[in-house]
Structure 1
Amino acid sequence: MPAATHSAAPTAEPLNVLLVDDERLARKYLRELLSEQAGVSVIGEADSVAAAAELARQLRPDVIFLDVQMPPASGFDLLPLLDPAPVIVFVTAHDEFAVRAFTVSAADYLLKPVATDRLALALQHVRNRLNVPAIVPSESATPFALGLDDPLILRDSGRLRRVRARDIAALAGEGSYTRVYLSDERSMLVLRRMDAWETMLPAPPFLRAERSLIVNLERVDSLDIRSRDEGVLRLAADGAPARVLGRVALSRLRAALRM
């Protein structure tokens, strides 16, 4: 599918967004994230390719945030039904469709759960495609940091959970993935690197104790100090194992906990 052409002059008008995803909770989460972005208006939602095609014809959105897997159809099946073609941003839990997404001239490709900083970057890509100037937030704004009661959508192996940031007890890096230990249920393995989590989560109470460990200080059950070079961390979280810490991590935790 050829890239859409747009001749609109630069304007301060908001981006009109259509959300297409067969999961209601995923649409709600993305709507909430978009509501925090300046110059964005969500004008509709659809849960199927057929409904999305009809809404796009009626509403003429600037951009569609489009899920890939929507059985029995695919988000790619929507593209030939769009006339005129808006800018497309794919949003999916699977990275294997990325190459195909860019061959059809998608502006961006976001992995679920969507991070606030990546969403902001995707919106900038959309504005570049549409030749629309970016809306610069005030210097005091901190758009990428979550509050403790802000919602997160976590997904692993088909399980989708809505949690608050404060419900996360700790995060342990496992390559491109993160093991997320939650205060009241079993852990989840989420496709997101530790650096992204460090940017998103408020500090304090979250502390990056070591390269592969971020701890919510409010969820520390105990810190047993064996020596200046070693300690054992125990968390108030379901299934979180005790973790042996080296000197650097132990020193950071002791300072943060004022021990």
Structure 2
Amino acid sequence: MKKVIIVDDEKAGRKLIKEYLSNFPALILLGEANNGVDAVKMINEFKPDLVFLDIQMPGLTGFDVLKHLEELPQIIFSTAYDQYALKAFEVHAVDYLLKPYTQERFKVAVEKVTSNIADNKAKELTNSLLMDAEKYPQKILVQAKNKLVTISVKDIIRIEAYGDYSKIITEEKTFISNYGISQLEQKLDEAIFLRVHRSSIINIDKIEELNKYGKSYDVTMQNKDIVRVSRGYMETIKKLMY
């Protein structure tokens, strides 16, 4: 028995996959998602063996979804866009179903899941995405009330320690991240995000001015927040001065 999740922003696409799945009693449908953000949450919660994954979706693309997963299931892409086929196989997807596809074509893809080839591809996918994870993300998922939302990293003004969590301050809103500030520091580009205090990280692109008071500095950000630079990080901030 294999647990399955369907991710497609079109209702018709999800309906077709469910119809074709009914011919495979060994594949148990756990749930559906119609956008990338909900897909990440559902896949991380239910840990399916197989995901039918669309590519062009609101919030996160199918490829973005893969980078946010705690564990990587077997992936069959299901999409109306043929230009992503090469990239799909670069991340070692089991198969790439180009809409509209027939029941027979669907059967060919599913049969790959039960083969040793599919198991090997899943391991290759894991290794490939672990390597991709070393690159700095352009978007991150953060908590907003009872749901996860995506924010662009470039929109972050500063990050503030918040107990075991972190506050991420953007121009429009403040979000809570489940990561501590040191964990976020490791995930963000150090050329842009500068640790200036054990409780503060700033986006140097969002600095308005730097003020010196004796031997100390305060940084005024574009949203008028003032961030103190602690003595231990003084040399770091001085590297920005020319």
Report how far residue 178 of structure 1 moved.
Answer: 1.6
**CA RMSD, 1 decimal:** 4.6
| Equivalent of residue 244 in structure 1, options 228, 235, 241 | 228
Structure showing the higher helix proportion among its residues: 2
Kindly indicate whether the alpha-carbon contact (under 8 Å) linking 2:2 and 2:48 is maintained by their aligned counterparts in 1: no
- Aligned pairs for 1:159-174 within 5 A: 162-174=150-162
Matched, 1:220 2:207: yes
CA contact (8 A) 1:234 1:243 kept: yes
Amino acid at match of 1:92: K
Matches within 5 A, 1:143-154: 143-146=133-136, 150-154=138-142
Q: Structure 2 CA distance, aligned partners of 1:164 and 1:245?
A: 25
How far apart in 2 are the matches of 1:17 and 1:160?
Answer: 18
The alignment status of 1:84 with 2:68, answered yes or no, reads no
**Structure 2 counterpart of 1:200:** 187
* Higher RCO (CA 8 Å, separation ≥ 6 residues): 1
Residue 146 of structure 1 and its aligned partner are, at CA, apart by 3.2
Q: Cα gap change, 1:18/1:195 in structure 2, threshold over 3 Å: closer, same or farther?
A: farther
Matched, 1:134 2:96: no
Deviation at 1:207, TM superposition (A): 1.8
One of 17, 20, 27 as aligned partner of 1:58: 20
Deviation at 1:241, TM superposition (A): 3.1
Partners of 2:5 and 2:48 within 8 A in 1: no
> TM-score, structure 1 length as denominator?
0.50
For residues 34-83 of structure 1, the C-alpha deviation after alignment (integer angstroms, 9 at most, x for no partner) is xxxxxxxxxx4577xxx9687345258xxxxxxxxxxxxxxxxxxxxx85
How far, CA to CA, are the matches of 1:226 and 1:54 in structure 2? 66
The Cα of 1:174 is off from its aligned counterpart by: 0.8
Distance in 1 between the 2:132 and 2:206 partners?
Answer: 25
Corresponding residue SS for 2:72: helix
SS in 2 for 1:204: coil
Q: Which residue of 2 aligns with 1:18?
A: 6
User: Could you tell me the percent identity over the aligned residues?
Assistant: 13
Offset at residue 173 of structure 1 (A): 1.7
TM-score (structure 2 length as normaliser): 0.53
The 1:137–1:161 alpha-carbon spacing in structure 2 relative to 1, beyond 3 Å, is closer
Distance 2:196 2:66 in 1: 23
Residue 224 of structure 1 deviates from its aligned partner by 1.4
Give 1:235 shift.
Answer: 0.9
| Cα distance between partner residues in 1 of 2:26 and 2:167 | 43
Q: 1:138 and 1:123 mapped to 2: Cα distance?
A: 9
Aligned residues: 179
Q: 3-state SS of the aligned residue for 2:124?
A: coil
What pairs with 1:14-53 in structure 2 (closer than 5 Å)? 18-19=6-7, 44-45=8-9
Match of 2:174 in 1: 187
CA distance in 1, matches of 2:183, 2:67: 8
Change (3 A) 1:125 1:160: closer
Q: Is the 8 A contact 1:180 1:188 kept in 2?
A: yes
After the TM superposition, which segments of 4 or more aligned residues of structure 1 sit over 3 Å from their partners? 44-47, 51-57, 86-93, 113-118, 124-127, 135-139, 141-144, 151-155, 158-163
Q: Which runs of 5 or more structure 1 residues have no equivalent in the other structure?
A: 7-15, 20-43, 61-81, 108-112
Q: C-alpha separation between the residues in 1 aligned to 2:167 and 2:181?
A: 10
Structure 1 CA distance for aligned equivalents of residues 164 and 48 of structure 2 = 24
Q: Compare CA radii of gyration and give the structure with the larger one.
A: 2
Q: Give the Å deviation of 1:131.
A: 3.8
